[in-house]
Amino acid sequence: MFRVRNTILSDDIATAKFACDLARCKGACCVVGDAGAPVAPEEVPVLRKSWELLKEELPEKARQTVSNGGLIQKNADGYEINCVDGAECVFVQYDDEGVAHCAIQQAFFEGRLTWEKPLSCHLFPVRLKKIAGFVYANYEYVPSICSTACRRGEEESIYLSDFLETALVRRYGRKWYEEFCERCEEIRIKQMQSESV
Residues 3-41: pLDDT tens digits?
Answer: 999 999 999 999 999 999 988 889 888 988 777 899 999
Angstrom distance (rounded) from CA 87 to CA 147: 19
Summarised one tens digit per residue, pLDDT across range 119-160 is: 999 999 999 998 888 999 999 888 878 899 999 999 999 999
- What's the predicted TM-score (pTM) here? 0.89
The ranges assigned to domains in the chain are 1-18+125-197, 27-117
CB burial readout 82-103, b (16+ within 10 A) else e: bbbeeebbbbbbeeeeebbbbb
Summarised one tens digit per residue, pLDDT across range 41-81 is: 999 999 999 999 999 999 999 999 999 999 999 988 889 99
**6, 4, 5, 9: which is closest to 123 by C-alpha?**
9
Per-residue CA distances from 71 to 39, 49, 83, 185 (Å): 11, 11, 9, 41
Angstrom distance (rounded) from CA 145 to CA 121: 13
Give Dmax (Cα) for the chain: 60
